[in-house]
């Protein structure tokens, strides 16, 4: 069992710097692309044998130090009764957004029986894997933004104006989503997930004061509730350079960073936390020499313990998997 990833999460010594890539399962890999000609993303995720196959592909092909469950952040609202479609070239779409206080009544409480397929995928994966398995969920802000907007956005204007205009209803929505997220992640750990990552991909849209007032208490409650699970917790967001001092106040052992911040500066603002990141994913579209120079720069500036090499956000769909494999080998050899 290669446990370098789990040891780095706990800021323990490691034989080499562990590396995995956000969105490594799916998107750019050939086996996944082939499966996608026959199946939709949600169908794949809800069929344990196929989902396990997709999660295993990067472990076998690239030699990464962790696997991530093949799922999507929108499976949780689906389990709560929301009608979600993943539309090609768009992303998650909800025809009837939950954009009024009354509409939140459409959210059923989370129960594990609604995600039995995930439990089965996790069990299949644990039987096959010799690296740790990461489970995940979206954080409440990112989830709320899809529910309220109904589709991907660049401004989050509906979400933010709802939050500022209806703070009590917003607080109720965040509480409902946080309860569901806690149950959903506990279900994944009970089935065998060995670490969990909370994706707050779009939280960088917020002013720090609004984050502290309307979001942070909910995120803190989620990580507090997960403490009893005894697995490392990772918290990731993009555009969070202005929020890192607040991220320091959550009980996640690892903070995931995008490329808009220097590792050394993040390390200073996050005392006691392990760091994960933060290579700009577009670097992988450049020449091998550029990729090696950038990886070397990160390895030099990273903390000596408690560091996991990753990208600053997901693998870009047109990334060449030979470059990903080369990067894994480079990080292993130079750490």
> Which residue blocks in the chain are alpha helix, DSSP H?
4-9, 30-36, 41-45, 48-62, 75-79, 116-128, 140-149, 157-165, 167-191, 208-214, 216-226, 244-247, 263-269, 288-301, 321-333
Q: Active-site residue 251, yes or no?
A: no
- Least distance CB 25 / ligand CP3 (angstroms): 3
* Helices and strands in the chain, H and E counts: 15, 9
Phi, psi of 86 (to 5 degrees): -100, 110
- Least distance CB 164 / ligand CP3 (angstroms): 22
Question: Which residues in the 45-104 window bind ligand CP3 by CB under 6 A?
Answer: 68, 70-73, 86, 91-92
Asked if 34 contacts 326 with a C-beta cutoff of 8 angstroms, the reply is: no
Out of 10, 36, 212, 260, point to the residue binding ligand CP3 (CB under 6 A): 36
Question: Which residues in the 305-334 window bind ligand CP3 by CB under 6 A?
Answer: 314
Q: Active-site residue 72, yes or no?
A: yes
Strand partners, 310: 278
- Least distance CB 296 / ligand CP3 (angstroms): 25
The reply to whether 260 sits near ligand CP3 by the rule CB under 6 A is no
Contact partners, residue 106, CB within 8 Å, separation at least 6: 81, 82, 98
* Active-site residue, from 7, 32, 65, 72: 72
Out of 10, 23, 160, 212, point to the residue binding ligand CP3 (CB under 6 A): 23
Q: Give the up-direction half-sphere exposure of residue 27: CA atoms within 13 A in the CB hemisphere.
A: 21
- Least distance CB 238 / ligand CP3 (angstroms): 7
Which residue, judged by CB position, is nearest to ligand CP3 in the bound state?
26
Question: Is the CB of 68 or the CB of 82 nearer to ligand CP3?
Answer: 68
Q: In Å, how far from its chain's centre is CA 295?
A: 21
CA distances from 334 to 182, 281, 327, 331 (A): 38, 20, 10, 5
The reply to whether 247 sits near ligand CP3 by the rule CB under 6 A is no
- Least distance CB 58 / ligand CP3 (angstroms): 7
**x/- track of binding to ligand CP3 for residues 120-149 (CB under 6 A):** ----------------x-------------
Out of 6, 19, 27, 78, point to the residue binding ligand CP3 (CB under 6 A): 27
User: Helix (H, G, I), strand (E, B), or coil: what is residue 16?
Assistant: coil
Q: Active-site residue 246, yes or no?
A: no
* Active-site residue, from 32, 65, 146, 321: 146
Considering only CA atoms, which of 218, 99, 106, 93 is closest in space to residue 169?
A: 99
**x/- track of binding to ligand CP3 for residues 184-213 (CB under 6 A):** ---------------x-x------------
| Spatial distance between the Cα atoms of 294 and 127, rounded to a whole number of angstroms | 36
Q: Active-site residue 27, yes or no?
A: yes
Q: How many residues bind ligand CP3 (CB under 6 A)?
A: 21
Q: How many CB atoms lie within 10 A of CB 287?
A: 10
Report the catalytic residues.
23, 27, 36, 72, 146
Residues interacting with ligand CP3, by CB under 6 A? 22-27, 36, 41, 68, 70-73, 86, 91-92, 136, 152, 199, 201, 314
């Amino acid at each position: 069992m290669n446990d370098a990833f789990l040891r780095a999460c706990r800021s323990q010594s490691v034989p080499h710097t562990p590396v995995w890539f956000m969105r490594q399962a799916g998107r750019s890999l050939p086996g996944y692309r082939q499966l996608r000609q026959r199946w939709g993303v949600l169908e794949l995720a809800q069929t344990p044998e196929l989902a396990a196959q997709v999660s295993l592909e990067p472990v076998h092909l690239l030699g990464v130090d962790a696997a991530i469950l093949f799922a999507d952040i929108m499976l949780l609202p689906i389990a709560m009764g929301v009608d979600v479609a993943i539309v090609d070239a768009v992303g998650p779409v909800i025809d009837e957004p939950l954009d009024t206080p009354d509409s939140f009544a459409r959210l059923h409480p989370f129960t594990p029986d609604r995600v039995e397929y995930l439990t089965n995928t996790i069990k299949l994966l644990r039987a096959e894997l010799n690296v740790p398995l990461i489970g995940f969920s979206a954080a409440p802000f990112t989830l709320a933004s899809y529910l309220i907007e109904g589709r991907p956005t660049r401004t989050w204007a509906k979400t933010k104006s709802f939050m500022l205009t209806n703070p009590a209803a917003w607080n109720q929505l965040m509480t409902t989503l946080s309860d569901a997220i806690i149950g959903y992640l506990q279900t994944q750990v009970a089935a065998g997930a060995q670490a969990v990552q909370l994706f707050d991909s779009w939280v960088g849209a917020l002013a720090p004061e609004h984050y502290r007032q309307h979001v942070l208490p909910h995120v803190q409650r989620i990580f507090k509730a997960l403490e009893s699970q005894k697995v490392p917790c990772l918290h990731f967001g993009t555009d969070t350079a202005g929020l890192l001092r607040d991220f320091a106040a959550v009980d996640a052992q690892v903070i995931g960073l995008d490329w808009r911040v220097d590792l050394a500066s993040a390390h200073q603002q996050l005392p006691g936390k392990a760091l994960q990141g933060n290579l700009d994913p577009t670097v992988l579209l450049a020449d091998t020499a550029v990729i090696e120079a950038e990886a070397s720069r990160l390895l030099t500036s990273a903390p000596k313990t408690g560091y996991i090499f990753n990208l600053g956000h997901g693998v870009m769909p047109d990334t060449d998997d030979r470059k990903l494999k080369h990067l894994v080998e480079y990080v292993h050899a130079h750490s």
